[in-house]
Structure 1
């Protein structure tokens, strides 16, 4: 793979992973719309590792809190804020792992990788995000997040396994539906991405390791680095903008892209 395609793939993944516009949809569309070769599973894993590093760094204080509470959570002792956060993240991740494993093992995940599917999900879930963002109350803060809301948001997150849905977009939609403020809903959604990206990376890495070689390792390192930088910049910008801007700009982008993809797919 050329250096240009490596960097382009990494930047697209980094920018779109945490913005509510679907990173998986953009990565699937990249070879379809540009004529470039498919980046392959190994590079997909590498760019996800880069974005994982970015979100961990950005939310380092919350990550440390969850890690410190993990032992007590695993023992079923949810008697502290740290243990509650750790358990909430575990519960929020379970639906995605179950549904993801089913789609992966049955091969349905490949059949969903089409321009038509991405067009409809980009459009439909974009409009749903707009509706929830405009109508949802803003009465809850990140500190109110607990087991019940984690389970509900985990079900929302599982929908992101359909390409074009957007993991961050659908979990933010769920958070706004539950009454979380824009900024705090996005913060929870970003924290939920950490175990989800980690779990998917481990699952996909099994196949990557079998075909790994020195050149693939170098390409993966380059892709991970640029993805990390792009993701950190995009995440920082989005979290700052949410203090004064709604999700409407992202919805407009999704509607335009979704409509364009459907026109292409049906023409």
Structure 2
């Protein structure tokens, strides 16, 4: 069954939602699924979600351009000269190794991610379950270790947490930042590594989904090429602002703000589903 064509209003709204929610620990894929169902009784689709994430990842590339260039150069220099393997060289490896879990699981469960995992009962459940996880991380984490203290073990653990975000409602940044807090990292350190860790995984997912997004053949809203481009550009602009805001916010504010929002949204979603106002699939 082929879904309806996406309108320009839908493309713009969903681009705004993607830009606002990608970097906050509230699940962008979950919000895209919820917004499209509540407003239009349709699913924007996993491919649309993955492609518009290219816009928010481009925002990461621009915002952290100097850091990324420094880490990349240090990594290549370190490969040639073992005497030049400092923190930035190691950080390059941490991002590479941390990306492996989501890459493997994404390929193994790509069909489930695009279908059953988008059920709104599951989204509502994950919003609340991971609100508890984030709250526990905020409460128990010592928040003393700077990003310079990151280790390979940290990268593997946070990379594994990132893989959980394949399930809408979990949140990639929520999973990785929570793991970082449990490991004793400061909120800012956990958030910065979370942004860097997302670059290869999300970029690969977006590029992999391009054929499906431009030539849709499944259920859900079908966006045109022009709509995808506009939605992605909107996500880029708003995502850039969101990165700057979040990094300032986490320095002086706890994650409990996001915990409260997730629980309220999850409960509201349960109510809408339970009363039949919206459908789960």
| TM-score, normalised via structure 2 length | 0.86
Q: 1:217 to 1:64 in 2, by over 3 A?
A: same
DSSP-derived class of the 2:118 partner = coil
Question: When the two structures are aligned, how many residues end up with a matched partner?
Answer: 264
Measure, in 2, the Cα distance between the counterparts of 1:73 and 1:146.
17
Measure, in 1, the Cα distance between the counterparts of 2:183 and 2:46.
35
Does the 8 A contact of 1:183 with 1:242 survive in 2?
yes
1:219 aligns to 2:227 (yes or no): yes
1:160 aligns to 2:168 (yes or no): no
- Give the root-mean-square deviation of aligned CA atoms: 2.3
Measure, in 1, the Cα distance between the counterparts of 2:107 and 2:99.
12
Kindly state the Cα deviation for residue 145 of structure 1 after the two structures are TM-superposed.
1.3
- Choose which of 88, 97, 102 in structure 1 pairs with 2:103: 97
Measure, in 2, the Cα distance between the counterparts of 1:266 and 1:152.
36
- Choose which of 7, 10, 23 in structure 2 pairs with 1:5: 10
- Choose which of 41, 50, 58 in structure 1 pairs with 2:63: 58
Question: Which 4+ stretches in 1 moved above 6 angstroms?
Answer: 73-76
Q: How does 1:50-129 map to 2 (within 5 A)?
A: 50-71=55-76, 79-105=85-111, 107=112, 109-129=114-134
Kindly state the Cα deviation for residue 202 of structure 1 after the two structures are TM-superposed.
2.5
1:132 aligns to 2:137 (yes or no): yes
Does the 8 A contact of 2:113 with 2:167 survive in 1?
no
Measure, in 2, the Cα distance between the counterparts of 1:73 and 1:100.
30
- Indicate the structure with greater helix content: 1
1:19 aligns to 2:24 (yes or no): yes
DSSP-derived class of the 1:112 partner = helix
Q: 1:253 to 1:84 in 2, by over 3 A?
A: same
Does the 8 A contact of 2:50 with 2:202 survive in 1?
no
Q: 1:204 to 1:177 in 2, by over 3 A?
A: same
Deviates more, 1:236-245 or 1:43-52: 43-52
Unaligned ranges ≥5, structure 2? 1-5, 217-222, 276-281
Does the 8 A contact of 1:73 with 1:86 survive in 2?
no
Does the 8 A contact of 1:13 with 1:227 survive in 2?
yes
Unaligned ranges ≥5, structure 1? none
Kindly state the Cα deviation for residue 74 of structure 1 after the two structures are TM-superposed.
6.9
In structure 1, the residue matched to 2:278 is none
Measure, in 2, the Cα distance between the counterparts of 1:231 and 1:198.
15
Kindly state the Cα deviation for residue 209 of structure 1 after the two structures are TM-superposed.
5.4
Measure, in 2, the Cα distance between the counterparts of 1:150 and 1:18.
18
Measure, in 1, the Cα distance between the counterparts of 2:81 and 2:26.
36
Measure, in 2, the Cα distance between the counterparts of 1:266 and 1:38.
19
